[in-house]
Structure 1
Amino acid sequence: MTVFNRVESPRQAEDALYDKTILAGDGWIYDLEPGQVLRIVDVEGNQAADTLFYDADRPEDHYSATATIAGQGNVYLTAGSVLLAESGKELLRIVADTCGRHDTVGGSCSAQSNTVRYAHEKEHMHNCRDTFMLQLATREGAYSKRDLAPNINFFMNVPVTSEGGLRFDDGVSGPGCYVELESLCRTTVLISNCPQLNNPCNAYNPTPIRVLIWNG
């Protein structure tokens, strides 16, 4: 299914309790309380925000792409999508979305995938998997490499072909597009703002994203 579901938010930036810009290549980790709403903004357009979620009270129970796709009957995320953990627990619900569609199957870039997709000499380049690990390491042993799961790529356009393959196409997001998620429990958010310099979808120019949080 390729339906775009664009829903605007009534929330105003000046009312947010938290507002931060994440530069391209940087990471961010934060614990949301139940009812809080997180907005992720694609500041300049066509930037990929690689994102994972965890039950903050049970860190081993992470976002599950498989359960989420099966639960909603759609391989893409958009307004109304409920993000499920491995246990089946509801972590968050997308309550607003001005992009309309987000990838949940393309995964994050890594040193290894960069060599496969592009060239062997790209192995040393900054990548999302390493950024994820650096952020998880700040949690004093609560997480390890085994806690990395297939992630969401907010704002990234990865169509599924009729043969079941994937294409990494030009983005469908524009400057200022955003997605908002309401936390349904205590949820840990982990973001790597993708530093990818080899993918033409962002014109080889990674750009910042912005995160805002409101109380429910």
Structure 2
Amino acid sequence: MTRVRRSPQDIAANRARYEEHQKKGLEYAPKALPGTSPLPAPEIAPDKIIHREVIPGGWYWSTHINKHEVFRVSLDSGFSTLSLIAWSAAETSERLNLPDTMKVQWTTVLGKGRVIFSDMGRVMFSVTEDSSGAHDGVVGGSTSGSNAAKYGEGTRNTRDNLILLATKAGLDKRDIPPALALFAPVRVDRNGAFAWKPELLHEGDYIELRAEMDMIVGFSNCPHALNPDKVYRPNPVTVTRIAATEPRSGDFCRTATAEAVRGFENNARAAV
């Protein structure tokens, strides 16, 4: 295979185009996102609760969610990291895409006011509430190898859990996208290394994700690979499915960035 060598001029021109595109994206973006959601989490009206699932530590769960319904994921029983993956219910070849989610919003920090994209440029979730902003879309979930190195043999891990839930949904392990780790306080330090920042978390943290299409969603409740705790002790995590409410005109998540606007335009076109 012939390797194409780019001239310094080509590299400089590509960098200039990238920097101009980044500048435009950042200028469009809001100067400040909404603050984190208040604690404790407000009560959900009983008639709005469709289902409530408590996922035990080390286990997994999958379900369907319909457009404009909401998942509240809450740490009601102490700290744990819950990994999430999703597929379009209409066409499961369309799936969660975290690299695009971060790239087009110019940030690795996903919190209130952000959206989560599919690999077809459509919006899957809007983050409508979030008390921490401490979520990881870069490192991914644990594996049998990472668990064995830290805890020894015999503990459940995110990768194997996701394979099991995908299989039960009629999918293959090749259909599994990189997982979003909720309540995983990962940040990148000045040297480009990943750092675990537990001070970003609070007792009773929660996040609410509004579905922007009908989806199959999977969750795995296993410790994050970067969690420094050497003891395997994930706590139960509560996932509440809340009845749909039509988003308000000018909804912040839909207008915060140019890419979010385009993503929702793609959603609208696909619905026609």
TM-score, length-scaled by structure 1: 0.86
1:209 alignment counterpart: 237
What's 1:6 paired with? 36
Bigger RCO (CA 8 Å, 6+ sep): 1
CA contact (8 A) 1:157 1:170 kept: yes
Q: 1:90 to 1:197 in 2, by over 3 A?
A: closer
Asked if structure 2 preserves the Cα contact closer than 8 Å seen for 1:43 and 1:207, the reply is no
Alignment partner of 1:46 out of 79, 85, 88: 79
Report the equivalent of 2:52. Answer: 19
Q: Percent identity?
A: 25
Counting only pairs closer than 5 Å after superposition, residues 52-91 of structure 1 correspond to structure 2 as 52-91=85-124
**Structure 2: gaps (5+ residues):** 1-32, 245-272
Q: Which has the higher strand share?
A: 1
Q: Distance in 2 between matches of 1:144 and 1:58?
A: 14
Alignment RMSD (CA, Å) = 2.5
Deviations 1:45-91 (A, max 9, x none): 33100111211111121111111001221101101111001111110
Equivalent position of 2:14 in the other structure: none
Alignment counterpart, residue 30 of structure 1, candidates 55, 59, 63: 63
The structural deviation recorded for 1:168 is 3.1
The aligned counterpart of 2:175 is 147
1:176 maps to amino acid:
G
Q: Equivalent residue for 1:161?
A: 189
The answer to whether the 8 A contact 1:34-1:185 is kept is yes
Give the AA of the match of 1:172. L
1:137 Cα deviation from its structure 2 partner: 1.5
Q: d(CA) in 2 for partners of 1:171 and 1:50?
A: 20
TM-score, normalised with respect to structure 2: 0.69
Residue type of the alignment partner of 1:76 = V
Distance 1:111 1:184, change over 3 A: same
CA contact (8 A) 1:82 1:92 kept: yes
Describe the shift of the 1:57–1:47 C-alpha distance in structure 2 as closer, same or farther (beyond 3 A): same
Question: Could you tell me which residue of structure 2 aligns to residue 173 of structure 1?
Answer: 201
Q: CA shift at 1:188, angstroms?
A: 1.6
Corresponding residue number in structure 1 for 2:266: none
Query: Partner amino acid for 2:167?
Result: A
2:144 pairs with 1:93: no
Measure how far apart 1:100 and its partner are. Answer: 2.6
Question: Of the candidates 123, 129, 150, which is equivalent to residue 118 of structure 1?
Answer: 150
Shift in CA distance, 203/41, structure 1 to aligned 2, threshold 3 Å: farther
Q: Secondary structure at the match of 2:193?
A: coil
1:136 is the counterpart of 2:169: no
Change (3 A) 1:156 1:5: farther
Structure 1: which 5+ runs fail to align?
Answer: none
Which deviates the most, 44-53 or 171-180? Answer: 171-180
Give the Å deviation of 1:183: 0.5
Cα gap change, 1:152 to 1:16, in 2 (>3 Å): same
* Secondary structure in structure 1 of the residue aligned to 2:167: helix
Distance of 2:115 and 2:225 partners within structure 1: 31
Q: By how many angstroms is 1:124 displaced?
A: 4.3
User: Counting helix residues as a fraction of each chain, which structure ranks higher?
Assistant: 2
Indicate whether 1:200 and 2:228 are aligned. yes
